[in-house]
Chains A and B, each alone.
Chain A
Amino acid sequence: MRCRWIILLLLLPLFLGGCLSNVDMRQRVILTAVGIDGADVPGHVTITAQLLNALKAPQGDADAVLVISSTGHTGFDAARNMVKEVGRKVFWGQIQAIVIGEEVLREVNAAQLLDFLDRDFEPSRLAYVLVARGQTGAVVMGCGGSMLDSIPVGTITNQVEGVRATGKSHVMRLHDFMRALDTPGRSCATGFLTVTGEKTTGLGEVCKNQKIILEGVATFREGWVVGFWDDKETRGLNWVLGEVTSGMLITKDPSEQNKVSLEILGASSRVEPMMVDDQPVIRITVNAEANIGDIVGPGLDILDDGLIASLERRQATVIRNEILAALKRAKDERTDVFGFGTAFARRFPRQWEKMADSWDEQFLPDLPVELIVEAKIRRVGLCLSPIRVQ
């Protein structure tokens, strides 16, 4: 009997938490996306948030989204200052996109800007981190998104998901971004947004005229933004990371008369660090598979023995060129977005200790890379040769 009482007493503290973390949705407002910028006062931070009017958002009303800016000493302070205008505490659990203005990134390190999102328990770690190129995050927050999405942030998340069909951007989630910032021998690279069109609406509303476009990646070195890569270089990065799942490769047949586009079916990659004569060497192996998507030109004999093989060689060349472009850019910018350093740290921990400090500056620019690309064409489509155009 006494034993029972003791067990009961031991169980009771479980209830001490009570309803402490109870959150009533009626007293909170859902935040879906946030833009982070500098402020007029040096050292201060401006936060621009897209807040959802829960009553109108499911119907996709234009005024379902409220755009609020507030300023504070730090990100967290600014975020809390939002209450002044909104009246409700902001619920960060559903945040989906974090857009940092390029300008503030030149002045403040990304790690410092994102600290409050990483430290607090509420914000979702699954939020995408993006950079607003040549813009402030506030402007991106004010963009209305496409007609297809009921809330503006849906456009950003859909673009991030959809860009996998081209492989031409690479967006990191908050969790991965913070981890990469903290990992020696690895740099962050995440997609950037550009804005087109003129702002026509008031400050607190979103403007449907302005469109957001996701492209390329912004690369970082130790939390500072160093460059914006174009489509080709970005896909080069994705090939190495093994994150190309789909996309198009444009090439020509050996006769140079037909344009052939190849639809990527999938790719895998292997990054092997090696020590040759005590010097680091990287071997990258990329395997890619593709279908023939279309053939534009006078036509070719697809049953020709050598044709597919030569198309495969050309396919490999396109991929190789993309990777080489990315490697060159990374070496120029001294930013190890491929995570070569991490690969060495894992494989050769003792040698890495000596290289770690000067990896980006000394080793990366001269790192010999052995690149092996194996390309395969799996299917040629439902017809053999294109219909002859008279």
Chain B
Amino acid sequence: MAEDKLVPKMDQVIEECSRANERLEAALGRFALRFRPGAKEEWSAFGGGLPFDPSTMEVSPDMSENERWLREAYGPSSDLVIRKMRLGDQLQTQIMIAYIDGMTDILRLTEGILKPITQVGTALPGMNKPDSIFDELLDRFLHVGEVQEAAKLRDMLHMISSGDTAVIVAGHPKALICGLRLWPDRGVEKPSTEETLRGPQLGFSETLRTNTSLLRRLIKTPGLWIEDHTIGQRSQTSVSIVYLKGVTSEELVKEVRERLNRIDTDQVLESGILEEFIEDAPWSPFPTVLRTERPDRVAACLFEGRVAILVDGTPFVLIVPCTLTEFLVGSSDYYERAYLANFLRMVRSFAFFFPLGISAFYIAVTTFHQEMVPTPLILSIASQREGIPFPAVIEVLLLEFAVEVLRQASIHVPKIIGPAISIIGVLIVGQAAVMAGLVSNAVVIIVAFGAVASFATPIYSMGIAIRLLRLPIILLAASLGLFGIAMGFSAILVHLTALRSFGVPYLQPLAPVVTSDLKDTLIRLPWWMMRTRPALTDVQNISRQKPGQMPEPPEPTPPAAQNDGQAQGGGEK
């Protein structure tokens, strides 16, 4: 008696608690999760908030129950399609086909599942046992390449949501999952943020399978291992760890795996979200994970013993570990001849630090160290400064702000009126500001050049780090002059030295010096000299190619032998 009374009471308490929680969650937003006791358990439940917990449940032999679960799970969603059919002896066995409309290849569904079942399914004399029908389906009737069995409800729901088609036979405790995924895809296009003059013009797209296929096309060894993970409690995003077996260190792969497994969130919409969860220095302005949308770049990194992380739904692939020099490298560096590549790389390395210091240097020199400037130049600067109402630092900050606004605006402006906006924004406003005596010409030149130089960094995220650090350097320069700039640069250098990316020092091979790896830093040696892979964490098979492959003219044959050759083997050619 007492128990009976107690149980409903407990239910009430639990219900009230959850209602209170909901209110709290609504009030505090996502932060509420942190303070909620026991959030972890509920959190890790698949698709928390469903009327039932599919992670502990099995696919039911009872067809109607399966259907009820599906309907309840997807609620009013109209894209869930459930098709019921009968087959077997006297069509006594019911089967159910469930898929998401718009994510499934309807043509193959018709040809591969519906047709065989409707045409041949009736001709199954004596087949009534669900087990034998299930096996028969799997063995003979489903004209589908990829078929798996799913026993857990959770797995089945996940597969259906991923675009697979589930075939459930009444009375059988497993579902057949047919891989018929097909959805609208942008297709493989040029990598929009990393175009190069020479090299493949393919970029990753939003579909994980397309992306792995792009990699597989570049690296045909079966040693290209693709390891699948699912991250995101609700988004259930497919994430692939890609590496070259026999080249990449097992430790590194293990570490990547562990860091990814540690992530417990409900959404992974882009690789950037993963990046923030797994990076070594979350508060550093410098990225310690490389992101790229070029398959050839990923392949090159894999050959160097790095690990790539592909995320479904984004063309941006993460690469770890990643050092500073890697950010200064463009893909075409490896395709152009060494001289041009080195020249471009030096220009780029210079341009990398240029926006960081140029405007700060201008401020420091014009407000603290006028004696350092040659007289004609200081005269020219002084004549421009004459009549400008602001101190140099305000002038620079104003323009830097204007440039940032322009940069931001240029992303959002519709392409058709883009040129018009840039003419108004840059030419007219810039010119007018100088004419009106608001800013001096020198500042316009310096800020504009700094802005242009910041685009010379091949990886956008590294350019952003420099853009962010520019402001504190400017303020230091304005308050302490060159001394301040030196302080700021030293602080950045110390910080860079302290950074690590998956166990690899950020400045390697420059600090600590790895002599053999200097071949591919500020300069790139010709390919036939790049004999070894970079010494990251315990790269296996360090040797990359046979030594001594420098192309040379053939040994001149002695005249006698030449005569012989002509006499004997004239016809060979």
Contacts and interface: CB of A to CB of B under 8 A. Distances in A.
Question: Do A and B bind?
Answer: yes
Interface of A: 14-15, 17-19, 21-26, 30, 32, 52, 54-58, 91, 93-94, 96, 122, 124, 150-151
A229 to B, nearest CB: 30
Given A14-B487, A23-B368, A93-B370, A30 B479 contact: no
Contacts, number: 68
Interface of B: 366-368, 370-371, 375-376, 378-383, 385-388, 391-392, 478-481, 483, 487
A282 B380 CA distance: 50
Contacts of A22: 367-368, 481
Given A19-B478, A25-B367, A122-B371, 7 more contacts: A14-B487, A21-B481, A22-B481, A25-B370, A32-B375, A54-B382, A54-B386
Contacts of B367: 22-25
A96 B368 contact: no
9 contacts: A14-B487, A21-B368, A24-B367, A25-B366, A25-B386, A26-B388, A52-B379, A57-B383, A150-B376
A93 B366 CA distance: 12
Contacts of B479: 15, 18-19
Contacts of A21: 368, 481
A91 B370 CA distance: 9
Given A25-B382, A54-B383, A55-B383, A96 B375 contact: yes
Contact of B386 (A17, A19, A26, A150): A26
Contacts of B383: 54-58
B451 to A, nearest CB: 25
A94 B371 contact: yes
- Of B366, B378, B380, B387, which is in contact with the most chain A CB atoms at under 10 Å from its CB? B378
A120 to B, nearest CB: 12
A124 B371 contact: yes
Contact of A57 (B370, B379, B487): B379
Nearest to A121: B371
Contacts of A55: 383, 386-387
A23 B370 contact: yes
The DSSP consensus for interface residues of chain A is loop
B71 to A, nearest CB: 56
A30 B371 contact: no
A84 B375 CA distance: 25
Nearest to A93: B371
A94 B478 contact: no
Contacts of B376: 58, 150
A21 B480 CA distance: 8
A373 B369 CA distance: 46
Nearest to B374: A94
A58 B383 CA distance: 7
Nearest to A125: B371
Contact of A17 (B371, B375, B382, B480): B480
Given A15-B480, A57-B379, A58-B380, A25 B371 contact: no
A78 to B, nearest CB: 21
Contact of A94 (B375, B380, B388, B391): B375
Given A23-B370, A54-B386, A94 B378 contact: yes
A124 B367 CA distance: 16
Most buried by B among A14, A23, A91, A151: A23
For the complex of A and B, list the 4 residue pairs with the smallest distance between their C-beta atoms, beginning with the closest. A93-B371, A54-B382, A54-B383, A25-B382
Nearest to A91: B370
A191 B487 CA distance: 43
A30 B368 contact: no
Contact of B379 (A23, A24, A30): A30
A151 B383 CA distance: 14
Contacts of A19: 478-480
Contact of A30 (B382, B483, B487): B382
Contact of A25 (B375, B381, B483, B487): B381
Contacts of B370: 23, 25, 91, 93-94
Contacts of B386: 25-26, 54-55
A339 B485 CA distance: 42
Contacts of A96: 375
B379 A58 contact: yes
A24 B378 contact: no
A17 B381 CA distance: 25
Contacts of B371: 93-94, 122, 124
Contacts of A24: 367, 391-392
* Max count, chain B CB within 10 A of own CB: residue among A14, A22, A30: A22
Contacts of A151: 379
Q: Which of B376, B382, B487 has the most CB of A within 10 A?
A: B382
A257 to B, nearest CB: 50
Contacts of A17: 480, 483
B480 A30 contact: no
A56 B375 CA distance: 14
Contacts of B387: 26, 55
Nearest to A57: B379
B385 A25 contact: yes
Contacts of B478: 19
Given A23-B368, A94-B370, A30 B481 contact: no
A58 B478 CA distance: 26
Nearest to A19: B479
A335 B175 CA distance: 111
B385 A26 contact: yes
A94 B378 CA distance: 9
Contacts of A14: 480, 487
Nearest to B481: A21
A62 to B, nearest CB: 16
A273 B142 CA distance: 108
A9 to B, nearest CB: 16
A327 B69 CA distance: 115
Contacts of A23: 367-368, 370
Contacts of A122: 371
Contacts of A150: 376
B492 to A, nearest CB: 14
B121 to A, nearest CB: 72
A14 B480 CA distance: 9
B370 to A, nearest CB: 5
A311 to B, nearest CB: 42
Nearest to B491: A11
Nearest to A54: B382
Contacts of B378: 25, 30, 94
Contacts of A93: 370-371
Given A18-B479, A19-B479, A26-B388, A54 B368 contact: no
Nearest to B487: A14
A296 to B, nearest CB: 41
A57 B368 CA distance: 22
A91 B368 CA distance: 12
Contacts of A52: 379, 382
Nearest to A17: B480
B495 to A, nearest CB: 13
